Structure 1
Amino acid sequence: MERLVVWIRGHRWTVDLPLYTVFLFLAPNWVGTGSWAVRAIPMLFVLPLLVRRRFPRTVAVLVIAGAAAVYFNEIWAYDRGRTELAMAVALFTLVKLGRRRFAAAIAFAIAVLDVQWGFLWGTYTENPTFTIVAVLPLHIAAWALGEFFRTKDQLTAEEEKRADAQSRAAVAEERTRIARELHDVLAHSMSVIVLNAEGAKLARHRDPEAVDRTLDTIGRTGRDALAELRRLLEVLHAGQAARSPQPSIDELRELVDQCGRAVALEVTGDPGGLTASAALQAYRIVQEALTNMIKHAPADATGRVEVAFEPEVVRIEVTNTGGQAPPAPAPALPSSGRGLAGMRQRVEMYHGELATGPLPNGGYRVRASLVVGS
């Protein structure tokens, strides 16, 4: 249904199909003589209405001109239904698109034509005044509907802008959070380099081999720090945020135990060569996935966390089963940020992939990968 609505919004002409049907099959009321081709001329009102959204003013003028031609001709004058409907549609379109001044002029022209029709042809009816007044509700309703749909479109546009602004704010906040975490990692790396450099200076005369080992440590730490610095520059935003110690991948077991749910943990591979930043992002993804499970999964749902450390990729999969009980109050498990938006930012920073969605058994799955190879 949602796809159908989106498609219709992109093809507005489909909404007009019932209107065109009314124009074609509206019962005519012709008088006088003339061929059927001549009598069917009022049906040509449908042609300018085809482009009423693109050229609303031009179409309105053409419709009013056509209505004047119809109402001054004895053959066409009594085919009033199509004429009034065409003018009402043109008026509605102008109001809906916010052309109120032009719509007011068109409304005045419609009133003049209706009065003129009453004086020319309404005298042949039992109540000429009623023939004039009877069509007024149609045009009042056209104006009111135009205002209603214009207001609705404005509200929808405002909601879309608000949602876009909130999404941008969430992304900006999450990037700032990630930059802060990377700052802590870089600060640690720089501290290691400085301390080892000072130690190498003191030991260069007593233990040359220790100096070589220390220089190796400095080189390895420096390369890791440069890699993290490149990522930091991609996400760094202006502004200072409070800094606090960040958890590592070694604390996954403690994180799982905090859930208060039956969650199995399986870790494969060797995380020894993983940089501190990559370990932190993997931890945060697991943390956010478990937090979402606690918030949204039934109380009797069980979970499973699988983390695979491969030479160049860290693969993470967090799943939970469905259940019958309502979600229980969430324990004090800290959240890492902005849910899926935060996970997506962390994955993109390591050029990985993120896939989320429901499972056939009623559960949910979060699958992420971080490319940590050079």
Structure 2
Amino acid sequence: MERLVKWVLRHRWTVDLPLYAVFLFLAPNWFGDEPWPTRAIPMLLLLPLLLRRRFPRTVAVVIIAGAAAVYFNDIWAYDRGRTDLAMAVVLFNLVKLRHRWFAATIAAAIVVLDVQWVSLYAPEAENPTFTMLGILPLHIAAWALAEFFRAREQLTAEEEKRDDAQTRAAVAEERTRIARELHDVLAHSISVIVLNAEGAKLARHREPEAVDRTLDTIVRTGRDALAELRRLLEVLHAGQAARSPQPTLAELRELVDQSGRDVTLDVSGDPGPLPASAALQAYRIVQEALTNMIKHAPADATGRVGVAFEPPEVRIEVTNTGGHAPPAPALPSSGRGLTGMRQRVEMYHGELSTGPLPDGGYRVCATLVVRP
């Protein structure tokens, strides 16, 4: 059914078929002294209606001129039904296409022509006023129907624009989410890989056994990063259904161990009722904070990750000390880390505070408000 409606809207001539059938039904009076081609001439005056959508004003003027010619001719004068219907059609067309002022002029011309017809051909009727006004409901209905269809089309267009805007917003939101996920996965994993590779390079002569442990960390981190990237690619290809499984708070211990730094983990409270989406945001915040520590803190800096479940809030605090070793070589920064954390916190109406500590370290404190 929907396909049929769309096809009809693309081929408007199919809608006109019933109208043309009515015009043929209202055929002229074939009986009289004049030859039938002469009596059929008013039907030729209706041909401009075929072009009314393309040239609405021109066709309206031609139809009004043809109606005047019909009403002033004794042979065609009683062909009033088809002529008034043609004038109602052009009036409908003008209003629907938003040519209201021009339509008002045409409506005035229609009234003048009807008054002229009554004065010429029905002056002796019992009720000439009724004869004149009896045709007006046709034109009033044409105007009203045009207003209705115009308002309906406008509403449909606005709904399509709104749906299109919502679709674009959803796409933009999804792109932002995926970009944020990619940043968190790659920034953390590649930072761990680079720093461990540099450490292995320095220790290959002094502590060969440490090199093996470091290479194991690099391999494990690389595999985890690939697994995360596969999840994100599944989201791109399969949509919403592919978003699970995702990292959860239960994997925090592995995340802390993966950092390669002396970091303690302190988790309190029951994370059981926590929604999966909130758990993912908390995990990503911890991941980004550890990434910043790996990138910017000295090699001997220690850290602490604290996660407290205090319904309806989740409190996250990640700190690191200043350390005393020379700073590690600076790693490239995208500048999106703190922005991404702030966006995650805003999703759950929480708060984020970051800043340096007196001993030269750094502190990240975030709160997620998880309402039932």
TM-score by length of 2: 0.60
| Residues 287 and 37 (structure 1), Cα distance of their counterparts in 2 relative to 1, 3 Å cut | closer
Between structure 1 and structure 2, the one with the greater Rg is: 2
**Structure 2 CA distance for aligned equivalents of residues 75 and 277 of structure 1:** 84
Question: Counterpart in 2 of 1:195?
Answer: 195
Shift of the alpha carbon at 1:286?
8.0
Partner of 2:83: 83
What secondary structure is seen at the aligned counterpart in 2 of 1:156? helix
CA distance, structure 1, for counterparts of residue 224 and residue 276 of structure 2: 26
Q: How many residues align?
A: 251
SS of aligned partner of 1:129: helix
In structure 2, what residue type is equivalent to 1:279? Answer: R
Which residue type is aligned with residue 128 of structure 2?
P
RMSD across aligned C-alpha pairs, in angstroms?
Answer: 3.5
Q: Deviations over 1:149-188 (max 9, x none)?
A: 1111110100000010011111111111111110111112
Q: How big is each residue's C-alpha offset from its partner over 1:50-106, in whole Å with a ceiling of 9 and x where there is no partner?
A: 111111101101100100010000000001011000000000000000000000010
Q: Taking structure 1 as the reference length, what is the TM-score of the superposition?
A: 0.59
User: Structure 1 residues 290 and 332 mapped into 2: Cα distance closer, same or farther (>3 Å)?
Assistant: farther
User: For residue 23 of structure 1, what is the amino acid of its counterpart?
Assistant: F
The answer on 1:276 being equivalent to 2:228 is: yes
* 1:225-374 aligned within 5 A: 274-282=226-234, 288-289=240-241, 334=277
- Aligned partners of 2:237 and 2:83: how far apart in 1? 64
> What amino acid maps onto 1:277 in structure 2?
L
Aligned amino acid, residue 53 of structure 2? R
Match of 2:119 in 1: 119
For residue 179 of structure 1, what is the amino acid of its counterpart? A
Conserved in 1, the CA contact under 8 Å of 2:185 and 2:228?
yes
Is 21-30 or 169-178 further displaced after alignment? 21-30
Q: CA deviation at 1:216?
A: 11
Matches within 5 A, 1:151-170: 151-170=151-170
Q: Which consecutive segments of 4 or more residues in structure 1 shift more than 4 A?
A: 29-32, 207-221, 271-275, 283-287, 331-336
**Separation (CA, whole Å) in 1 of partners of 2:155 and 2:89:** 23
Matched letter for residue 140 of structure 2: I
The answer (yes or no) to whether the contact 2:28–2:39 under 8 Å persists in 1 is no
> In the aligned structure 2, how far is the partner of 1:283 from the partner of 1:72?
74
Q: Distance in 1 between matches of 2:26 and 2:243?
A: 61
Deviations 1:118-156 (A, max 9, x none): 111112533322221111111111111111111111101
| Residue-by-residue CA offset, 1:293-351 (whole Å, 9 max, x unaligned) | xxxxxxxxxxxxxxxxxxxxxxxxxxxxxxxxxxxxxx966599xxxxxxxxxxxxxxx
Unaligned runs of 5+ in 1: 225-270, 293-330, 337-374
User: Does the aligned pair in 1 maintain the 2:8–2:15 contact within 8 Å?
Assistant: yes
Aligned mates of 2:180, 2:101 — CA distance in 1 = 55
Separation of aligned partners in 1, 2:277 and 2:216? 37
Contact 1:45 1:66 in 2 (8 A): yes
Q: Which runs of 5+ in 2 are unaligned?
A: 245-273, 280-372
Identity among equivalent pairs (%): 71
Cα distance in 2 for residues equivalent to 1:30 and 1:283: 73
* Residue 212 of structure 1: how far off its partner (Å): 9.5
The answer on 1:16 being equivalent to 2:35 is: no
State the distance in 1 between where 2:139 and 2:162 align.
35
1:73 maps to 73
Contact 1:31 1:76 in 2 (8 A): no
